[in-house]
Amino acid sequence: MTILVIAEHDNKVLAPATLNTVAAAVKIGGDIHVLVAGLGVGIVAEASAKILGVAKVLVADNAVYAHLLPENVAPLIANLVIEQNTIYSHVLACATSNGKNILPRVAAALDVDQISEIISVQSADTFKRPIYAGNAIATVQSNASVKVITVRATGFDPVAAEGGSALIEAITTVYESGKSCFVDEVLAKSDRPELTAARIVVSGGRGMQNGDNFKHLYSLADKLGAGVGASRAAVDAGFVPNDMQVGQTGKIVAPQLYIAVGISGAIQHLAGMKDSKVIVAINKDEEAPIFQVADYGLVADLFEAVPELEHAL
């Protein structure tokens, strides 16, 4: 049994989520191969080869894969599964925008079902995944010849990024659909940690009242070395950009410490952060649902409590 893991990267740095995906592959069992598709990805390939538990790294280095367009990457993966006598039993990718964009196409090409956002491996064909915004956990079993799976990174502790010595093998086959092309991307730049990788996250909700008041959270986050997030209500109200959204339709986070400020705790938001190790809630409404999942709750006016907390720090 051999498992193909799709590396998440930006052509320069291997994303930490890849280590969580490999961890899921380790629990399934068998040889693990990592596919690095992109342009100028030599450093990413070397980093992938050092991951503990990886036996081989396949490198598809070509301009058509530079931006991981799914129309080009999906046939590459599908053909790897069925060609060259390399029959993979599982194809895994992290449940990022790339993984969610590429793997459904791979599953369709292979004519198999896809299993989305698993959080646990029961056996080689049985997995657990959240449903109903995380309020229930479904156990699903697949008898497909190839299991195509996206992995929720927060469900698995990452494997070691060092200690491996995998073989690196180049793939020269190029698949260019001609159906789409890369136009542009605008990346949000911040000196603070990226939300999904931050050990501490401070998030604000509708209780912040407006975008200007998020300055209190930015100042607090800088003291803590934390990332800053927001609820969907705050994003929909235009307080902050949507790349800060934490929740079922935003980013899924599981930091060591999550501080929810002025967030009521709607189901959609809880689905994105309730796996955090320690949850702190600050809200003036003592009936707010967020207190049901919080390890520590402070019923107070956030505009008094947050400055006091920052001053104490």
pLDDT tens track for 121-173:
999 999 999 988 777 899 999 999 999 999 999 889 999 999 888 999 999 88
| Residues 233 and 298 grouped into a single domain | yes
User: Residue 310: which region, alpha, beta or left (left: phi > 0; alpha: psi -120 to 50)?
Assistant: alpha
What's the CATH code of the domain at 225? Answer: 3.40.50.1220
Whole-number pLDDT of residue 70: 94
Is there a binding annotation on residue 99? Answer: no
Residue 138 lies in a domain: yes
Is there a binding annotation on residue 264? Answer: yes
Show which of 150, 170, 190 is a domain's final residue.
170
| Residues 87 and 216 grouped into a single domain | no
CB atoms within 10 A of CB 17: 25
Residue 184 lies in a domain: no
With 60 as the cut, is the pLDDT of residue 84 above it? no
Is there a binding annotation on residue 256? Answer: no
| Residues 163 and 237 grouped into a single domain | no
Whole-number pLDDT of residue 148: 97
With 80 as the cut, is the pLDDT of residue 187 above it? no
Residue 186 lies in a domain: no
Is there a binding annotation on residue 267? Answer: yes
Is there a binding annotation on residue 204? Answer: no
| Residues 24 and 163 grouped into a single domain | yes
Is there a binding annotation on residue 216? Answer: no
Q: Which residues contact 253 (CB under 8 A, 6 or more apart)?
A: 154, 195, 196, 198, 201, 227, 229, 246, 272, 273, 276
Is there a binding annotation on residue 245? Answer: yes
Whole-number pLDDT of residue 85: 52
| Residues 111 and 222 grouped into a single domain | no
Residue 190 lies in a domain: no
Residue range 24-31: average pLDDT? 94
What share of the chain has pLDDT > 70, as a percent?
Answer: 99
Mean pLDDT for the chain overall:
92
pLDDT tens track for 210-261:
999 999 999 999 999 999 999 999 999 999 999 899 998 889 999 999 999 9
What share of the chain has pLDDT > 90, as a percent?
Answer: 79
Residue 180 lies in a domain: no
Residue 247 in tokens: 């929740």
Whole-number pLDDT of residue 248: 85
Which of the residue ranges 33-47, 154-168, 199-213 would you say has the lowest mean pLDDT?
154-168
Amino acid identity of 57?
A: V
Is there a binding annotation on residue 247? Answer: yes
Whole-number pLDDT of residue 135: 79
Regarding beta strands 126-131 and 136-141, do their DSSP bridges make them parallel or antiparallel, or are they unpaired? antiparallel
Number of domains in the chain: 2
Whole-number pLDDT of residue 190: 73
User: Which residue range is the domain that position 271 belongs to?
Assistant: 200-312
Residue 67 lies in a domain: yes
